[in-house]
Amino acid sequence: MSEGACEGRLEEEVLRVHVGDSELVKVLLEYFEQQADCVAIRISDSEIEVSLIGSFRTETHDAAVRDLVTGFRRSHPEAHALHLAGNGSMDAV
């Protein structure tokens, strides 16, 4: 994914995932790349920005990204420290 893949998107349509483990970031990026209409970029050693392509209300977009992260955690128990941040909030997933 390119560094600027989320540029130009409305801020409320991008969620930041705080991973905490730089090795797990690589695995999570691969997971997001396998999802339809999903753009994910690594923005630091332990963070990813995720955006879904399409017309979403903010709540719907955030819930869909949260569902993707929850699905990832089910198959990766070591991902216990994942947190989502966006729209002025941070939530444990």
Q: At 26, is the secondary structure helix, strand, or coil?
A: helix
Residue 88 has pLDDT above 80, yes or no: no
Q: Could you tell me the two tokens for 33?
A: 């790349």
More confident residue, 56 or 17: 17
Quick one: pLDDT at residue 5? 44
Quick one: pLDDT at residue 87? 53
Ordered by where they begin, the domains of the chain are: 14-86 (3.30.70)
Quick one: pLDDT at residue 36? 87
Quick one: pLDDT at residue 40? 95
Cα separation of 1 and 78, whole Å?
Answer: 24
Annotate 10-37 with DSSP letters as a single string.
Answer: -GGG-EEEE-S-HHHHHHHHHHHHTSTT
pLDDT digits (tens, 9 = 90+) for 8-54: 444 448 899 999 888 899 999 999 999 989 999 999 999 999 999 98
